[in-house]
């Protein structure tokens, strides 16, 4: 999974959550469920349905935060 592939399809609340929590290593199952629905596949990989973000995902989310703060 790559967050950037689904970013424009995610609802504003989920995008906001991701931008407010850019250091989150493991997405909670509620956020994973939203992204899974958007992606059309089950992305939950943890015991409780959570997902681990890649370094690429962290960099992408941080770039979005930076873009908004400079706008």
Checking if the pLDDT of 43 tops 90, the result is no
pLDDT the model gives residue 2: 86
pTM of the model: 0.86
Checking if the pLDDT of 46 tops 70, the result is no
pLDDT the model gives residue 5: 93
DSSP 45-68: -STTS-EEPPHHHHHHHHHHHHHH
**Spatial distance between the Cα atoms of 27 and 13, rounded to a whole number of angstroms:** 14
**Spatial distance between the Cα atoms of 68 and 31, rounded to a whole number of angstroms:** 21
Task: Indicate the average pLDDT of the chain.
Answer: 89
pLDDT the model gives residue 44: 65
pLDDT the model gives residue 62: 95
Show the tokens assigned to 70.
Answer: 């400079």
Give the mean pLDDT of 47-54: 81
């Amino acid at each position: 999974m790559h967050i950037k592939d689904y970013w424009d399809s995610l609802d504003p609340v989920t995008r906001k959550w991701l931008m407010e929590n850019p250091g989150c290593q493991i997405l909670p199952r509620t956020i994973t469920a939203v992204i899974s629905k958007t992606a059309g596949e089950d992305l939950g990989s943890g015991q409780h349905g959570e997902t681990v973000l890649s370094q690429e995902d962290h960099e992408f989310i941080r770039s979005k935060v930076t873009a908004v703060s400079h706008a």
